[in-house]
C-alpha cells in the first residue's frame, strides 16, 4: 500500500511520451527480480500511477525511456500490498555494482549498473531530481520502505535506487 512519488505534470505543454521501444520487463539477476512493466502516467492527485497489480511495476511514460540519451527513466513498484509481497520487495536488498537490465518490446535490452541508493522520507523526496528530463541518462527505481504508518496508510519513506548505463 505504497504512496506514489509526485510526478511532474504530464499536462505541461510540450510534455509527450518519449519515442523508442517501450520497456516491458525489469530484471535484477542478483536478486532474482523479474518484473513486468506497464506504461503509467499521473493520477488525478498529481502522483505517479503505479499498477494496481502489486506483481507489476510502472514506468513513467511522460519521461525519458530506459536507454534514452539523457534524463532519468523512472520505474516504481509496490514493496507489498494486503495480499503479500510486491514486485519490488527485494529491491531493499540491492547493492552498488549490481546489474539491472530493462527489456524492450522489440526484444532489445538496456543494461545498467547500480550506482547508488538512498532512503528519504516521502515528504522530503526531491521529485524534480527524480524526474529529471536532462542530464546524464539514468534509471531510477522507486519503492516504499521504512516504518508503516496506520494513520497515513502507507510507509514513511521511499527507497530510490539509481543505476547508470553500462558502456
Over the range 127-166, which residues count as b (16 or more CB within 10 Å of their CB) and which as e?
eeebbbeeeebbbbbbbbbbeeeeeeebbbbbbbbbbebe
Tell me 108's DSSP state: -
C-alpha cell at 162: 539509481
User: pLDDT value at position 92?
Assistant: 94
Mean pLDDT confidence for 58-84: 95
Sorting pLDDT into bands at 50, 70 and 90, what band is 19?
low
Q: How confident is the model at residue 6 (pLDDT cuts 50, 70, 90)?
A: low
The CATH superfamily of 23-165 is: Sortase (2.40.260.10)
pLDDT in tens, 104-153: 999 999 999 999 999 999 888 888 889 999 999 999 999 999 999 888 88
**Domain ranges in the chain?**
23-165
pTM score, whole prediction:
0.88
Three-state DSSP class for 65? coil
Per-residue pLDDT tens digits for 27-40: 999 999 999 999 99
Amino acid at each position: 500500500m505504497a504512496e506514489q512519488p509526485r510526478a511532474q505534470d504530464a499536462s505541461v505543454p510540450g510534455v509527450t511520451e518519449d519515442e523508442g521501444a517501450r520497456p516491458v520487463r525489469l530484471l535484477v539477476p542478483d536478486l532474482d527480480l523479474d518484473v513486468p512493466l506497464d506504461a503509467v502516467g499521473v493520477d488525478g492527485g498529481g502522483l505517479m500511477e503505479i499498477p494496481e497489480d502489486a506483481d507489476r511495476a510502472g514506468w513513467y511514460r511522460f519521461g525519458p525511456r530506459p536507454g534514452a540519451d539523457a534524463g532519468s527513466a523512472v520505474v516504481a513498484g509496490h514493496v507489498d500490498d494486503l495480499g503479500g509481497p510486491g514486485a519490488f520487495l527485494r529491491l531493499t536488498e540491492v547493492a552498488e555494482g549490481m546489474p539491472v537490465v530493462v527489456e524492450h518490446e522489440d526484444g532489445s535490452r538496456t543494461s545498467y549498473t547500480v550506482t547508488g541508493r538512498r532512503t528519504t522520507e516521502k515528504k522530503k523526496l526531491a521529485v524534480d531530481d527524480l524526474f529529471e528530463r536532462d542530464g546524464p541518462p539514468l534509471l531510477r527505481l522507486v519503492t516504499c520502505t521504512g516504518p508503516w504508518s496506520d494513520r497515513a496508510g502507507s510507509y514513511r519513506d521511499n527507497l530510490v535506487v539509481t543505476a547508470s548505463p553500462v558502456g
